[in-house]
Amino acid sequence: MTDATGQEVLLGAEESAGNFAAAHIGEKSDSAAVIVRRLYKSFGSQIVLDGIDLTVKSGETLAMLGRSGTGKSVLLKLIIGLQKPDSGSIWVQGREIGELAIDAMNEVRKKMGFLFQHAALYDSLTVEQNVAFPLARHTKMTERERTGRVKELLASVGMEGDLKKMPSDISGGMQKRVGLARALALEPAVLLLDEPTAGLDPITSGEIDELILKLQEEHDMASIVVTHDLHSAKTIADRIALLHHGRVLIEGSFSELEKSDNTFVSEFMKRDG
Amino acid sequence: MSQNASIPHRLISQDTEPARSYVPQPIRYVVDVINLFLEWLGELGFFTWQVLRSAFRRPFEGRELMRQLDEIGSKSLPLVALAGAAIGAVLSLESRSSLVRFGAKSMLPAALVFSIIHETGPIVTGLVVAGRVGAGIGAELGSMKVTEQIDAIEASGVNPYKYLAFTRIVACMLMLPLLTIAADFCGVLFGWVADTLADPISFHKFFNQGFHRATFSDFLAPTFRTAIFGLIIGLIGCFQGMRTKGGTEGVGLSATSSVVLSSLFVILADVILVKLILVFFP
């Protein structure tokens, strides 16, 4: 387990962000799917991320916990390039995304899947068309192959019977499932999930958690899950990072966080654990 | 150390009066408005650059362009035709009484045709489309922005400037001249209907009298200047929509501002384009 102080030791003052990532990528190019180093982001005078450091390996699931407004969702948007950091570096699948031109960035995005907090399904398209959207643009599949793949994806999230429905005609939980199917369409190496169980009842939340676990077993993806749901984090995550005041306060397994004697950590874990 | 060092700043009395501004309030207001306008213009310029930059990269989003041509063109046709017909009928009724007074009743078809193809048809089409399509684009993209659908498109590795903005702008530019022709035709037709109800005249005779002295350039330049109106409507609608902030209120503001700004810029562009057409096609 490493805490904020431990991370200082890990990184070392003399070790630059670039050297660290280069070392990681060089040593085990296929293991580190996402590397975030000394990432800063502020909106006006409000500092949201104050030097974040993270590494997520392939096949690993990291849950990001923290109070509302601590920049968890912002971090996901920075990783997929929807927002630009003030400073710091992000490597996805061995490529530094900070200086990438839009076409190169889009190539990196094809390797990532993103489930938005409110699913963000295209409301003028059917469920089927939503899932087919990335396939139609980034693959050379025929119409028939695409339909087959969409059915397969929707079946994997238990939505095979709702192909022709509009997003407004299905529930929040079902929208999340469709959003998950869309995020998985291009078989991403990195999956980013922004509060997959927020606003759902406990049973639907449990179903979504099971679905994420099942998908993780089927695909060897690196996943970063932003959540407030401790049950969900305990179920699906290999490792948990707790954000506080724009920094990773503590990082480790669920049980390690539970055992922490840090007042904020124990208070946070007690709320629901 | 200062005596006040430990006292919160807000509790320290301000001995010195704040510097007074000697600029009168109305002038400051005008300066603020100009600043805001220049800021908006700068952002619009950047947005235009992003759209242009995306336009020449593959894929060219042909399917989405076709959908937008249908959405903007076909679905605006009934409204534009109706507006053209109404304007034609009103022009005919109004011009008739004036021309009869000056003994120039026979000039009515030519006056009507020239008035419609030179100015009334293009500007009415521009304003009707600015109302219908401008509001539609502003509200649709605004709604997509606040529900993170535009972010989702970008996260899928698709360029939203091309997929959403470029297709709509091109569709507006291609459809405006065609809609103008429809408005012109309906205007002339219903101008004849109004005229023939008062004093029967065959459509063939009316049409011949109307277009007797018309040249191709009388029709071409005014009609194709509406492509510029289309550019304005598409660009402002997309820009206002894609910069929407807030929730439903923001979407409403985007829709309203799209209509107001595109109508205003269509009228301003009309003034400039009419002058240019008179210079190049005297």
Q: Is residue B231 a contact partner of residue B169, using CB atoms and an 8 Å limit?
A: yes
Q: H/E element holding B6?
A: none
- Which residues of chain B lie closer than 8 angstroms to A112, CB-CB? 155
Q: Both tokens of residue A233?
A: 């984090």
At A4, is the pLDDT very low, low, confident or very high (cuts 50, 70, 90)?
Answer: very low
Strand A95-96: give its sheet, edge to edge.
A46-57, A32-43, A87-92, A95-96
Give the DSSP per-residue string, A7-26. Answer: HHHHH-TT--HHHHHHHHHH
Higher pLDDT, A20 or A61: A61
Q: What is the model's pLDDT at position A12?
A: 37
Q: How far apart are CA A126 and CA A117, in angstroms?
A: 19
Neighbours of A101 (CB within 10 A): 8
Q: How far apart are CA A20 and CA A13, in angstroms?
A: 11
Kindly report, residue by residue over A71-123, the tens digit of the pLDDT: 899 999 999 999 999 999 999 988 899 888 888 899 999 999 999 988 899 99
Q: Is residue A165 a contact partner of residue A127, using CB atoms and an 8 Å limit?
A: yes
The answer to whether residue B90 sits within a structural domain is yes
Q: Is residue A167 a contact partner of residue A119, using CB atoms and an 8 Å limit?
A: yes
Q: How far apart are CA A223 and CA A215, in angstroms?
A: 11
Q: What is the model's pLDDT at position A26?
A: 43
The answer to whether residue B169 sits within a structural domain is yes
Q: What is the model's pLDDT at position B102?
A: 83
Question: What 3-state DSSP class applies to A198?
Answer: coil
Q: Both tokens of residue B277?
A: 């057409």
Structural domain containing residue B192 = 61-280
Q: Is residue A83 a contact partner of residue A44, using CB atoms and an 8 Å limit?
A: no
- A21-30 burial by CB neighbour count: b if 16+ within 10 A, else e? beebbeeeee
CA-based torsion, B168, B170, B171, B177: positive or negative: positive
What global pTM score does this model have?
Answer: 0.83
| Closest CB to B154 among A82, A110, A123 | A82
CA distances from residue B199 to B96, B105, B203, B206, B212 in whole angstroms, order as listed: 10, 10, 12, 11, 20
B104 and chain A in contact, CB less than 8 A? no
B199 and chain A in contact, CB less than 8 A? no
**Is B156 in contact with A133 (Cβ distance < 8 A)?**
yes
Question: What 3-state DSSP class applies to A252?
Answer: strand
Question: Per-residue pLDDT for A31 more than 80?
Answer: no
Q: How far apart are CA B169 and CA B43, in angstroms?
A: 17
Q: What is the model's pLDDT at position A265?
A: 84
Q: Topology of domain A59-84+100-111+188-270, per CATH?
A: Rossmann fold (3.40.50)
Question: Per-residue pLDDT for A24 more than 60?
Answer: no
- What's the whole-number mean pLDDT along residues A147-160? 89
Kindly report, residue by residue over A214-244, the tens digit of the pLDDT: 878 877 789 999 998 888 888 889 999 999 8
Q: How far apart are CA A263 and CA A234, in angstroms?
A: 20
Q: Both tokens of residue A144?
A: 């028939």
User: Closest residue of B to A138, CA-based?
Assistant: B157
Q: Domain spans of chain A?
A: 59-84+100-111+188-270
Q: How far apart are CA A94 and CA A34, in angstroms?
A: 8
B59 and chain A in contact, CB less than 8 A? yes
Interface of A with B in 135-194 (CB under 8 A): 137-138, 182
B209 and chain A in contact, CB less than 8 A? no
Domain count, chain B: 1
A43 and chain B in contact, CB less than 8 A? no
Q: Is the peptide bond before B78 cis (omega within 30 degrees of 0)?
A: no
| Residue among B56, B76, B58 nearest B234 (CA) | B76
Kindly report, residue by residue over B197-232, the tens digit of the pLDDT: 988 888 888 888 888 888 888 888 889 999 999 999
The answer to whether residue B56 sits within a structural domain is no
- Which residues of chain A lie closer than 8 angstroms to B148, CB-CB? 116-118, 120
How many residues make up chain B in this entry? 282
- What's the whole-number mean pLDDT along residues A165-188? 91
Q: What is the model's pLDDT at position B12?
A: 44
User: What share of residues in chain B are helix, strand, coil (percent, to 5)?
Assistant: 80, 0, 20
What residues have CB less than 8 Å from B54, skipping those under 6 apart? A102, B159, B161, B162, B165, B166
Consecutive 10-residue runs of chain B (282 residues): their mean pLDDT?
A: 43 52 82 93 94 84 91 93 95 88 85 91 95 95 95 93 94 96 94 90 87 82 92 96 90 94 95 86 72
A123 and chain B in contact, CB less than 8 A? yes
Give the DSSP per-residue string, B186-251. Answer: HHHHHHHHHHHHHS---HHHHHHHHHTT--HHHHHHHHHTHHHHHHHHHHHHHHHHHT--SSHHHH
Q: What is the model's pLDDT at position B107?
A: 85
- Which residues of chain B lie closer than 8 angstroms to A114, CB-CB? 152, 155
Neighbours of B24 (CB within 10 A): 9
Amino acid at A92: V
Q: How far apart are CA A176 and CA A197, in angstroms?
A: 8
